[in-house]
Amino acid sequence: MMNKNLNEIAKKLCESPKGILAADESTNTIKKRLDSINVQSTSESRRDYRELLFTTQDLSNYISGVILFEETLKQEMSDGVLFPKYLISKGIIPGIKVDKGAVAKDPNSTEKITEGLDGLGNRLEEYRSLGAQFTKWRAIIDIDSNNRYPSDYCIEVNAYNLGRYARIVQENEMIPIVEPEVIMDGSHSIMDCSKVTTITLKKVFEQLKYHNVDLNSILLKPNMVISGTNCPEQASPETVAKMTVDCLLENVPKEVPGIVFLSGGQSNELATAHLNEMNKLSNNLPWELSFSYGRALQQPSLKLWDGKKENVKLSQDALLIRSKLNSNATSGDYSSEDEKQMVC
């Protein structure tokens, strides 16, 4: 039976013209980002950077929700207000990354299985008490350099874990974002990506059905169907859009309220252009098509901030413009000419 309250939250998160800001980088990942601007990664510097992002004026015009890392969910801003409480006050829904990362499926494999089911229910109780209303779990599916498809075992186990995760989250009255990511690193073609994405989505929705997950109260966060990073033939935005939408129409049930794409390793501009082309294709798709971008929203801001207080406003302006451009893409109204607004 559909939970109307959860369904309303899911629809609010993905409804045009808004999308989701992914700011759930693990401690190791955010360290790499801060290292790139020669800022030491400490609890304080991580707080300062995320506070810069979330306090951007008018951000809620374009951003419906923010995915947080556990540290940030429990962290106070410089004025003593908890981050989730602040976000809620601005009309932005706080969410939380709940998986515990991916480990090799065996010592001799590069394929990975995402962990984090142990104790998940207890953690969700705490996260919800702190204000989180939705969650995210990421599974990683690789296409290796020889264009061999991922193993059945890797897909099956990751799909099972996504199904179990989603069921536990809904039992705790929260929205699960289901993120099966076919990694774009490699030399594979867009056709290879399409085949693997199709296989993966079929298995994921089989497991969601098996676990009796209410599809009306989830969001799907998939990769786009795209050429591998090192593929000599890079598909055009129009081709990416058509092949992605065709794949989704074949594999994603109409009950799902929305699809919020990850950006993966795409450039900021291509992530926006691809989303825009998809939304230009049709006004009659069964689900909303929006974004849940991390690096593709944050990268200009991080570069401009450079760890300096005097650069905060410039950095925030860059985040606001990048968010607005992706907001425009949710209705197919983005133009490459709009990139001239960017300050870097």
Cα distance between residue 128 and residue 114, in whole Å: 22
d(C-alpha 118, C-alpha 135), whole Å: 16
- Residue 221 annotated in active site: yes
Contact 260, 291 (CB under 8 A): yes
pLDDT for the residue 198? 98
| Contacts (Cβ under 8 Å, ≥6 apart) of 78 | 47, 48, 51
What's the pTM?
0.97
74 is catalytic: no
Q: Which pLDDT band, with edges at 50, 70 and 90, does 88 fall under?
A: very high
For the cut 90, the answer to whether the pLDDT of residue 294 exceeds it is: yes
pLDDT > 70? residue 78: yes
Token pair for 319 = 């985040």
- Within 10 angstroms of residue 250's Cβ, the number of other Cβ atoms is 11
Of 220-224, 295-299, 321-325, 336-340, the poorest mean pLDDT is in 336-340
Q: What percent of the chain has pLDDT over 90?
A: 92
From the CB of residue 132, how many other CB atoms can be counted at a distance below 10 Å? 24
Q: Output the pLDDT for position 275.
A: 98
Q: What is the pLDDT of residues 256-288, one digit of tens each?
A: 999 999 999 999 999 999 999 999 998 789 999
- What domain count does the chain have? 1
Kindly give the interhelix angle for 295-305 and 268-281, rounded to the nearest 10 degrees: 150
Q: Is 341 a residue whose pLDDT tops 90?
A: no
pLDDT digits (tens, 9 = 90+) for 153-205: 999 999 999 999 999 999 999 999 999 999 999 999 999 999 999 999 999 99
Q: What is the mean pLDDT of the segment spanning 69-97?
A: 98
| Strand blocks (E) in the chain | 19-23, 63-68, 93-97, 102-104, 112-114, 134-141, 175-182, 219-220, 258-261, 288-293
Q: Which CATH number goes with the domain that contains 116?
A: 3.20.20.70
Name residue 174's amino acid: M
pLDDT score for 112: 95
SS3 228: coil
For 94, the domain range is: 4-341
Average pLDDT, the chain: 96
pLDDT tens digit sequence for 201-240 = 999 999 999 999 999 999 999 999 999 999 999 999 999 9
Marked catalytic residue, from 179, 181, 277, 288: 179
The mean pLDDT of 54-76, rounded to a whole number, is 98
> What is the number of other CB atoms lying within 10 angstroms of the CB of residue 86?
18
Q: Which of 126, 99, 125, 133 minimizes the C-alpha distance to 7?
A: 133
Q: Does the pLDDT of residue 343 top 80, yes or no?
A: no
User: Cα separation of 307 and 46, whole Å?
Assistant: 10
Q: Which of 221, 277, 288, 324 is catalytic?
A: 221
144 pLDDT band, cuts 50/70/90, is confident
- Residue 57 CB coordination number (10 Å): 11
Give the pLDDT score at 30.
97
Q: Would you state the pLDDT for residue 344?
A: 53
